[in-house]
Amino acid sequence: MIELSRDITFGQYINNGSQVARMDPRTKLLCAILLIILFSFLSSFLAFLVCLLFCALLQWNSRIPTGYVLRSFKPFLGFLVFIFCIEVLFYTSATQNKTLLWHWAFLNVSWEGIIRSALTIVRVLFLYYITSMLLFATSLVDLTDGMEALLSPLQKIGIPANAFVMVLVIAFKFVPIFVTEVERLMKAQAARGVRFDQGNFIQRTRKIAPLLVPLFISGFKRAETLSVAMEARCYGGRPGWRRSKRRKLSFDRYDALALGLTLALCVVTVVINFVSPV
Amino acid sequence: MLEVQNVTFNYSAEGEQDVPPALRDITLTINEGETIAIIGQNGSGKSTLAKMLAAILKPNSGTVHVDGIPTTARGEDIWTIRQRVGIVFQNPDDQLVANTVIDDIAFGPENLGLPRHEIEERVQEAMALLDLEAYAPIAINELSIGQKQRVAIAGVLAMRPRYLLLDEPTTMISGQTARNLLETVFRLSRERGITVIHITHFMHEVTDFQRLIVMDAGRVIMDDTPVNIFARVSELQAVGLDVPMVTHLGQRLRARGCNSLPEVVLTAEQLKGGLAHAL
Amino acid sequence: MLFELKNVSHIYMRGTPFATESLRGLSLSIPQGQTTALVGPTKAGKSTVVDMLAGLIKPASGTLLFEGDDVFAPSFDIERIRSSVGVVFQSPEAQIFEETVGKDVSFGPRRKKVPLAESRRLVKESLEAVGLDYEDFRSRYTYALSGGQKRRVAIAGVLALQPKVIVFDEPSAGLDPRGRRELLELITRLKQQQNLSIVYVSSGLDDVISLADTIYVLDRGRLAFHGTPREILAHADELAALDIALPEAAQIAVTLRETLPNIRTDVLNLDELETEIVRNVTIEAQSTIDKAG
């Protein structure tokens, strides 16, 4: 059954008025960046366990249904399993202290291999979670404002960070629109007898091809109309042009709490990372 | 004042054959405060003309002037035109940029670099004009098409334009919502003196406009009041258009001897009045 | 009876924070050999019904019968529906995916493994049925066609499937008056020449009032009322409440009710309207004379 909108949930802002949703976007982005750096750095399962507690707290505070978030992992779980297997089989360690469980020619399975690969997977899952949550809980306008604010030093030295941010924002705005369109295209072709759920991998991929052309054409048309509409509302590069802002960002108690907690998490987990054996 | 002088335009690039020009030698003048409807079939050039007036397209030959400024101007002048001529398209999804209603309406004023208090003032004003105050914090994705179209118009009005171009704005809306939209547009013209140019292919939408321009195959073939144009039924039918059923009905009833009806009936209300008179 | 929906419900985006009930306990039937119309404002559930008729989704609850067989039965092959039902969607560009017109229209027969000669005959007949010359159009590139031509090619592609029923999903949306006229003429011609069963989905009554045998009016996933075109027009006030535009003639009749209180609103076209007005004016004039006298 073709119901893409249900399965493709990346980037969809959920406006539920939770505290997380209403945070100052600068703080949210800052925390997200800190967490991303942290997750990329950590190499201890115990540390990640503590992170899991933090994420649970975040999940609860965001008031976004857990099932919905977990379903957003669905599209690439298969891919992750595949990566895990490859990593394990081809694992080579810097030190040659390997406890081999099995080997055949240049493939081997070792405890270290399994642990290291599992760590990578855990890391990817956490990174995806934080990015998803950031997008679920932040409206596009918040994202723009937050990114612009954080990138303003770049803007001052002449790098067009604001334009870049605008590009991202519009790309995100169109994700759900394109999902609906692909769904429509698939239904139209399915009604003509194209079976998207049949055939091997290669056959199925070939069936995607005729969807791409109409999608691209539609995408370009929309892009053109939208850019014309934006220009008609005076968005555009002219010498000395600067946009002003209606919204004022305000940093309040909850933001300080969130930032504080994030920093605390960083400290605690880094310590655990160095100290813990696992 | 919008002045179009001998404008010709072709969408195809040079050297491509067999593509007829979208606009052929068009000359017309639009004065401030007028309410004008432009009607024609798909392919008659009406949308192209709208884009010409909004300086989105430049003519291949001929000129278009907005308040004396040519649309081929560069630099500051072109942005003056952009601010003075507002345009609303068919599909609101292709015009709305922000997530919430209030943020999208503020997009225009923000682009003008206005100070915060003035942005707020204009946004409130535009929302009041379109009855959108209650929707300010609502996400645009959750609105119906009719509501989204109102947001698009509000967003343009926040720029305080002198001219408002509506390019087939009711194509994706139906019934009462479309009628409400037109009523709002007329109110704007009356209360604010905005020049309204409404492009459509629905004959029943044009009856209240001061001036009607009929286009066919890139040319302006009629430019007069709706009453005068509705009398020329066979000419309209020759270019694939037709008068509304009420007008036909009026003709037939007059032929049967009902002389209290005006010669050209534009609306059902007129018909009702005429019949009430007869009785 | 081709399709029967009994108390069908469906939830769109089930399990997400955006879930909404698109259908609530809807019952209707699509008989063979007739034209059935489904009319309703946006979010009335029309697209959901179209998806079900096309065999793309199954209802969340209720019964859906196709030719008397239960769609939910384990032995039921959904392919039966897909090969018997042709759907013409709103934007024909979405349905065309082959390079040339000939290839695209023959897609259906090819899939059904129809022999080449037969397939060619079907393509020829289908193109001719939609008013496109076979020799001229069969090797034309699809991307070079105009919107109207694409629409016709899409319909030809569906005809070549030799379906038992064709579902038209808001086919006149966005068309200018002439385009609409041509489309309705085409559908009427197909109906007469090929004795097709048709399901026509639309948000207004203009198209279907002279085309349909039965009209179902949907409101937020439920059936509001149904009947023949004339019976539907008698519900003028309810239709207005649902923001469903009445066809022009009926709309005028409604406006004239203030002056001619007994005027019937179930007029289908200009001639009927004219006759009805004359009749009523005579009656009103007579009663005024009677009162004065």
Q: Quick one: pLDDT band at residue A93, thresholds 50, 70, 90?
A: low
Q: Which of B42, B245, B279 lies nearest to residue C281, judging by beta carbons?
A: B279
pLDDT at position B162 is: 94
Q: Does B83 touch chain C (CB under 8 A)?
A: no
CA dist., res. A112 & res. A97, Å (int)? 9
Rounded to whole angstroms, how far apart are CA atoms B1 and B30?
6
Mean pLDDT of chain C: 86
Say if the Cβ atoms of C274 and B271 lie within 8 Å.
no
Nearest to A192 among C13, C18, C108 (CB): C108
Q: Which of B242, B271, B278 sits opposite C252 (nearest CB)?
A: B271
Q: Is the pLDDT of residue B57 over 60?
A: yes
When pLDDT is averaged across residues C144-161 and rounded to a whole number, the result is 85
Inter-chain residue contact B99 with A140, CB threshold 8 Å? yes
pLDDT at B198: 95
Q: What is the pLDDT of residue B262?
A: 87
**B183-215 pLDDT, tens digit each:** 988 988 888 899 999 999 889 889 999 999 999
pLDDT the model gives residue A11: 59
pLDDT at B135: 93
Q: Is residue A99 situated within a structural domain?
A: yes
Q: Which of A1, A6, A210 sits opposite C16 (nearest CB)?
A: A6
Prediction pTM value: 0.81
Determine, yes or no, domain membership for A31.
yes
C40–A contact, CB cutoff 8 A: no
Chain segment B58-72, per-residue pLDDT in tens = 999 999 999 999 999
pLDDT per position as a tens digit, A193-202: 777 766 677 7
> In angstroms, what CA-CA distances link A190 with A177, B34, C55, C152, C167?
20, 50, 9, 19, 14
Q: Per the domain annotation, does A172 fall within a domain?
A: no
A95 has a pLDDT exceeding 60: no
- Interatomic CA distance for residues B96 and B173, integer angstroms: 17
Res A7 pLDDT > 60 = no
| pLDDT over threshold 70, residue C38 | yes
Please list the helix, strand and coil fractions of chain A in percent, rounded to the nearest 5, in that order. 70, 5, 25
Question: What residues pair up with B40 in beta bridges, in sequence order?
Answer: B215
State which of B210-219, C163-172, C272-281 shows the largest mean pLDDT: B210-219
Q: Comparing C178 with A196, which gets the higher pLDDT?
A: C178
Nearest-Å Rg of the Cα atoms of chain C is 22
Q: For residue A1, name the pLDDT band (cuts at 50, 70, 90).
A: very low
* Helix, strand, coil % in chain B, rounded to nearest 5: 40, 20, 35
Judged by DSSP in three states, C166 sits in strand
Q: Which residues pair with C141 in a beta bridge?
A: C100
Rounded Cα distance between B47 and C144, Å, is: 21
B38 confidence band (pLDDT: 50, 70, 90): very high
C161:A192 CB<8 A: yes
Residues sharing a CB contact under 8 Å with residue C270, sequence separation 6 or more, in sequence order? B245, B248, B249, B252, C249
User: Does a structural domain hold residue A39?
Assistant: yes
C-alpha distance from A201 to closest chain C C-alpha (Å) = 20
Least confident of B18-32, B73-87, C77-91: C77-91
**What is the per-residue pLDDT for B141?**
77
CA A47 and chain centroid, separation: 22
Q: Are residues B244 and C248, on separate chains, in Cβ contact within 8 Å?
A: yes
Query: For B213, phi and psi rounded to 5 degrees?
Result: -115, 125
Task: Read off the DSSP letter of residue C44.
Answer: S
Is the confidence at residue A73, as pLDDT, over 70?
Answer: yes
Of C106, C105, C221, C190, the closest CA to residue C156 belongs to C105
Which residues in A lie closer than 8 A to residue B108 (C-beta atoms)?
233-234
In this complex, the residue of B244, B253, B269 whose CB is nearest that of residue C255 is B269
**Closest C-alpha among B103, B145, B93 to residue B126:** B103
C-chain CB neighbours of B175 within 8 Å are 41, 204, 243-245
Cβ atoms of B183 and B129 closer than 8 Å:
no
DSSP category for residue B216: E
pLDDT band of residue C206 (cuts 50, 70, 90) is: confident
Q: Could you tell me which residues come within 8 angstroms of residue A52 by beta carbon, excluding any fewer than 6 positions away?
A: none
- In terms of CA atoms, which chain C residue is nearest residue A181? C94
Answer yes or no: is A68 within a domain: yes
pLDDT of residue A35: 93
Are the beta carbons of B175 and C204 separated by less than 8 Å?
A: yes
pLDDT digits (tens, 9 = 90+) for C93-128: 777 778 888 888 888 888 778 888 888 998 998 888
pLDDT at B108: 93
**pLDDT score, position C157:** 87
Q: Cβ contact (<8 Å) for B279 and C273?
A: no
CB-based burial label for A140 (10 Å; 0-12, 13-18, 19+): buried
Reference B68, options B4, B7, B1; nearest CA is B1
DSSP conformational letter for B223: E
Query: Domain segments of chain C: what residues?
Result: 3-246, 247-293
Which residues of chain C does B272 touch, with a Cβ-Cβ cutoff of 8 Å? 255-256, 258-259
Predicted confidence (pLDDT) per residue in B97-129, tens digit: 887 899 899 999 999 989 999 999 999 999 998
pLDDT at A275 over 90: no
> Going by DSSP bridges, is the β-strand pair C165-169/B211-216 parallel, antiparallel, or unpaired?
unpaired
Question: pLDDT tens-digit profile of B4-26?
Answer: 999 999 887 665 666 788 899 99
Cβ pair B105, B127 in contact under 8 A? yes
Subunit contact A1:C58, Cβ cutoff 8 A: yes
| B225 in A contact zone (CB under 8 Å) | no
Whether the CB of C284 is below 8 Å from some CB of chain A: the reply is no
Residue A35 belongs to what domain range?
14-138+252-278
Does residue A121 form part of some domain?
Answer: yes
Say which DSSP state C86 is in: E
Rounded to the nearest angstrom, the minimum Cα separation between A258 and chain B is 25
Please tell me the total number of residues recorded for chain A in this structure: 278
Which of C46, C49, C95 should be substituted to probe chain A, the one whose Cβ sees the most A Cβ atoms within 10 Å?
Answer: C95
Query: What is the CATH number assigned to the segment(s) C3-246?
Result: 3.40.50.300
Asked if pLDDT for residue A273 goes beyond 90, the answer is no
The half-sphere exposure of A34 on its side-chain side, counting CA atoms within 13 A, is 19
Question: What single string gives the DSSP state of each residue in B22-83?
Answer: SEEEEEEEE-TT-EEEEEE-TTSSHHHHHHHHTTSS--SEEEEEETTEETT--THHHHHHHH
- How many domains is chain A partitioned into structurally? 1
CB-based contact C56 A65, cutoff 8 Å:
no
| ipTM score assigned to the predicted complex | 0.86
Band (A117; pLDDT cuts 50, 70, 90): confident
Which chains contact A through at least 3 pairs of Cβ atoms less than 8 Å apart?
Answer: B, C
What average pLDDT score do residues C205-213 get? 89
- The pLDDT assigned to B17 comes to 64
Average pLDDT over residues C221-227: 91
Q: For C233-257, what is each residue's pLDDT tens digit? A: 988 888 888 888 888 889 899 888 8
Phi/psi class of residue B20: alpha, beta or left (left: φ > 0; alpha: ψ in -120 to 50)? beta
Candidates A233, A236, A243; nearest CB to B156: A233
Cβ partners under 8 Å of residue B73, min gap 6: B81
Tell me how far apart the alpha carbons of residues A229 and A239 are, in angstroms, rounded to a whole number.
20
